[in-house]
Amino acid sequence: MVTPKNLIQNSKADLGWDTRDADYTSWRNAVKEYCARHSIHTWGAASQAEKDALVIATRGLTGFRPTIRDRLASGSDFHKKALEALLQDCLKKRSETAKNLAIKRARKRAHTDVVSDGDDEVPDGENKPIAVLFWDGDPDVGAHRDVNGWIWDERARRNIAEIRLMTLDGIWDMVKAYVPAGRKVREIIGALEDPTPPNLTFPADYISLHSDAEVRGFFRMTKANPVRLLVILHTLPPRANTPPPGAAYFELEKFAPPTEYDDYAEDSDAIVRNAAGVGRRRMPTRDHTFEERKYELRARIKRQQDTKIAVKAEHQRLFPNAGIIDSDDEDYCYIDWLKKPKPTTGPQLVKARQVVPIGCRATRLN
């Protein structure tokens, strides 16, 4: 009998991984990063387009042996099923971790007099805080470099802080208060070794950090004591930011805050509600309680309508030439008439816009 545990073990073996394979751990962490960036929380809730994109993206992540990567690229159904089984398991455990954290935090809010034992579970990438020394390097300031390269150990530019989340964003949260207003970060360099004679202003070995996986690996491997980071800024116009051959710089908007809007969570998450001792919401039984519930529903609908207006406006602003047709447009009826298949996912709805010009011409002919 194949149990869920055996299925995962068999799927790992089918893709060339051992029980405690470091390559598998690296691949799994990269999958979690991809899902976090694309807001994929569970396999069941993801659209088919999101699942297909996830499968394609995770085939290209590091960790696969060349022969397995070739078989996945060739479209092997056997290896694709094994890959999908591991993706479902990864998303399931990621979701369970988030739910467990929600329960624990809800219980802590309900029992504020309980003292933490210091062993609380933390999200992926988050550890006990680590003290870090860091410097900023400004290409427009000649004194920040010498014949050997960037000068690290300069007291006037030295800063100390704690990092809690071992990711690029975690580093940015730590250093952003020290970055001059209007400046952008183009590169983050970590010292793998302490400086050695004759150059005591530069580490004996270092690495440029471009991904969250590299950041986590750096904090596990660095032998520098204390941990040292160098944050290099983009040059000011009109100078160009051209990386040397084989190197890469962050885009100017890498650490820019995302555009956000208030998306009201309608009806509290069941996990948190149950953890706080709140049962499922029941249907009203009295005249005035029906009126109260209907008022709540009307207010909820109003909030969602306001949110929809804001989202539509931002969509039009970012894609003014995409031929967007919203449900309140009279031409949306041509999209609404499509039944087999009924467009429900983002890619399907974008493609469905193509029927509108044809529908308009057919209507004029009649």
Per-residue pLDDT of 241-254, as tens digits, reads 888 787 888 888 88
Say whether both 63 and 158 belong to one domain.
no
Residues 10 and 102 in one domain: yes
- What's the CATH number where 229 sits? 3.10.20.90
pLDDT band at 5 (very low <50, low <70, confident <90, very high): low
Establish if 63 belongs to a structural domain. yes
- Do residues 130 and 229 share a domain? yes
Buried-state track 226-242, b at ≥16 Cβ within 10 A, e below 16: ebbbbbbbbbeeeeebe
Domain boundary residue, one of 110, 142, 161: 110
Q: Give residue 159's domain range.
A: 126-233
Residue 315 reports pLDDT greater than 70: yes
Residues 288 and 326 in one domain: no
**What pLDDT digit, counting tens, does each position of 135-194 carry?**
998 988 888 888 778 888 777 888 999 998 899 999 999 999 888 888 999 999 999 998
How many domains does the chain fold into? Answer: 4
Give yes or no: residues 175 and 89 share one domain. no
Kindly report, residue by residue over 94-132, the tens digit of the pLDDT: 777 766 666 665 555 444 443 333 333 444 444 678 999
Contact present, 90 and 33 (Cβ < 8 Å): no
Q: Is residue 250 part of a domain?
A: no
pLDDT of residue 264: 55
In a domain, 346, yes or no: yes
How confident is the model at residue 119, as a pLDDT? 37
In a domain? residue 334 = yes
Lowest mean pLDDT among 19-28, 269-278, 327-336: 269-278
- The model carries a pTM of 0.42
* Residue 305 shares a structural domain with residue 335: no
Using a 10 angstrom Cβ sphere, with 0-12 exposed, 13-18 middle and 19 or more buried, the burial of residue 356 is middle
Same-domain check for residues 101 and 59? yes
Contact (Cβ atoms closer than 8 angstroms) between residue 209 and residue 168 = yes
Contacts 24+ apart (CB under 8 A), 150-156: 150/189, 150/202, 150/230, 150/232, 151/201, 151/202, 152/191, 152/195, 152/201, 152/202, 152/203, 152/228, 152/230, 153/195, 153/200, 153/201, 154/201
Residue written as token pair 């219980």: 107
* Relative orientation angle of helices 4-14 and 77-110, to the nearest 10 degrees: 130
Residue 110 pLDDT: 44
Q: Report residue 306's pLDDT band, with 50, 70 and 90 as the boundaries.
A: confident
- pLDDT higher at 202 or 187: 187
Q: How confident is the model at residue 262 (pLDDT cuts 50, 70, 90)?
A: low
What is the rounded average pLDDT for all residues in the chain? Answer: 79
Residue 344 lies in a domain: yes
Let me know whether 227 and 277 are in one domain. Answer: no
User: Are residues 155 and 84 both part of a single domain?
Assistant: no
Give yes or no: residues 162 and 95 share one domain.
Answer: no
CB within 8 Å of 139: residues ≥ 6 apart: 232, 233, 234, 235, 239
99 and 74, same structural domain? yes
Per the domain annotation, does 352 fall within a domain?
Answer: yes
Question: Which of 360, 309, 352, 305 has its CA nearest to residue 330?
Answer: 360
Decide if pLDDT at 91 tops 80: yes
Percentage of the chain beyond pLDDT 90 is 15
Domain presence at residue 199? yes
pLDDT digits (tens, 9 = 90+) for 15-67: 888 766 677 887 888 888 888 877 887 888 888 888 888 888 888 777 788 88
Q: Are residues 305 and 326 in the same domain?
A: no
Alpha carbon distance 164, 219 (integer Å): 11
Domain boundary residue, one of 233, 250, 273: 233
Q: Is residue 245 part of a domain?
A: no
- In the chain, the percentage of residues whose pLDDT exceeds 70 is 82
